[in-house]
């Protein structure tokens, strides 16, 4: 699935999709569509895009808390280790 701007979501159906995936993916793309309509002015940085996707996944989890759409690794080590230069 893809959001092609405000109010435009393309759903390319695949027989391997189950109802859980379809629900969470549409919630995911819906957030992209609404946010794009309200806030998009420039493309932003890579960090902006990472934060944006995080907000989208959070919305997806708020709408369907018991479904597993986008995988979230809660065991990920959140400590940033600076590389030695």
Q: Which of 79, 82, 30 is nearest to 57 (CA)?
A: 30
Check residue 84 and give its pLDDT: 59
Has residue 85 got a pLDDT over 60?
Answer: no
- The residue extents of the domains of the chain are 2-63
Contact 34, 3 (CB under 8 A): no
Helix axes 46-63, 19-39, angle to 10 degrees: 130
Predicted confidence (pLDDT) per residue in 38-84, tens digit: 877 667 788 888 888 888 888 988 999 888 877 777 676 666 666 65
Chain-centroid distance, C-alpha 12: 17
Pairwise CA distance, residues 21 & 53, whole Å: 17
Predicted confidence (pLDDT) per residue in 14-41, tens digit: 888 889 988 998 998 998 888 888 877 6
The pTM for the full model equals 0.68
Contact 69, 30 (CB under 8 A): no
């Amino acid at each position: 699935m893809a959001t092609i701007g405000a109010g435009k979501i393309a759903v390319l159906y695949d027989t391997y999709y189950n109802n859980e995936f379809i629900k969470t993916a549409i919630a995911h793309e819906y957030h992209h569509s609404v946010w794009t309509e309200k806030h998009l002015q420039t493309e932003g940085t890579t960090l902006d895009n990472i934060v944006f996707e995080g907000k989208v996944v959070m919305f997806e989890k708020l709408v369907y808390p018991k479904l597993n759409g986008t995988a979230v690794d809660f065991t990920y080590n959140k400590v940033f280790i600076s590389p030695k230069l």
